[in-house]
Amino acid sequence: MNEKEVAEIRRRIKPEKTNITHVRGCYVNDKKEIVSQFLQPLSMLSQEEGETLLQLLRKTLSGGVGRNLLDMEFSTQQVLQSEEHKLLMALRKSALQEEDAVLAFYQKAIQAIDLQGNYLILLAYDTYDVPFRAKDGQALEDASDEVYTYILCSICPVKLTRPALSFYVSENAFHSLSPDWVVAPPQMGFLFPAFHERAADIYSALYYCKDISQNHSAFTQAVFCQEAPMPAAVQKETFESLLGDTLENDCSFEVVSTVHEELCEKIQQHKESKEEEPLLVNKQEVLHILDACGVKEENQQAFEERFEAAFGQNAAISVQNLVDTKQFSVNTPDVQIRVNPQRSDLVQVRIVDGVKYILIRASDGVEVNGVHIHIE
């Protein structure tokens, strides 16, 4: 799914738009035991409570595609024969009313969820009359030729608040607030089937993971029988290690800053072009940048081999997972320098009298500990 498709479904999960009439789920303790099960009609909740519950579900469709939101593709054999796909289809087909299927899903998920402490498994079912879009992109709400039915799952930690002191104005007095259990935003979840080209795609699901340094692979193995993609934060660390380990003496400040600038430029151009599909980069595009920087052929070959070993021979990676567009940093064991990514030209590396220096061009507006200073 692309950003536009995700946004279209996310906008639906609001009181005035959704067809979600109830949310069902279970409360699980730290011993992986189901403490209670519930089937909660939204009509029985106050407006504020209903909106809060829908907001939890909506967060399962938040974050960036390729970072927090990952496509999980099913093979043809899985769709035709696998137990994991049959279970998901049973949940969807029965609108979460088939008790055996719901309980089987609970048990499968609970054994694989690696969260510490108590948590909720929330399940919701929705039907969406997909409005027809004219060639100019205008949605025609009264013209629909597609009904998209889907289930949404959210895994939400339940955390104990800390004791606190509150002041009650009406009583003009202080009172202690006792610790209480509150539902936190989801740590993981999924949408099935995926909403692809504005229709249901039973060959795909959209998996959500809040923490980009983790992928909760045991959960994806249990629910989809698939390995989750490498976490976005790990992709960035791996890419940076590849540059440092394979380029050897060619890994200069100029090369690293050029790679950063080129990838950031790709992101900016993609944003301006308003392309719907995620921006991906492959090894050949990175090698082209390295070659333009004058990196030796043997070092390029070493990078290519390590890239294939880490990501796969034909891998295409989200560019946003490889660079931080908001900062450009230079670190030594004792000094940290953060630079506007668009002004990395202000930093240079020089050797003066045999000593290595990092030079930063400075004009007006220099501060030290918040104090404006003058440079003579």
Structure tokens at 43: 């009509």
Contact criterion met (CB below 8 Å) for 85 and 77: no
Contacts of 372 (CB under 8 A, 6+ apart): 365, 366
CA 299 to chain centre: 33
- Residue 201 and residue 99: Cα distance in Å, rounded? 25
Structure tokens at 246: 């394979």
Residue 159: beta bridge partners? 182
Looking at residue 350, what is its pLDDT? 87
pLDDT in tens, the chain (376 residues): 999 999 999 999 998 889 999 999 999 999 999 999 999 999 898 999 999 999 999 999 999 898 999 999 999 999 999 999 999 999 999 999 999 999 999 999 999 999 999 999 999 999 999 987 765 555 555 556 789 999 999 999 999 888 889 989 999 999 998 888 899 999 999 999 999 988 999 999 999 999 999 889 999 999 999 888 899 999 999 999 999 999 888 888 889 989 999 999 999 998 888 888 888 999 999 999 999 999 999 999 999 999 999 998 888 899 999 988 888 888 888 888 888 888 888 888 888 888 888 888 887 778 777 787 777 7
Backbone angles phi, psi at 82, to 5 degrees: -75, 145
- The structure's pTM equals 0.85
Looking at residue 202, what is its pLDDT? 95
Longest Cα–Cα distance of the chain, Å, equals 79
Q: What share of the chain is helix, strand, coil (3-state, %, to 5)?
A: 35, 30, 30
Contact criterion met (CB below 8 Å) for 325 and 267: yes
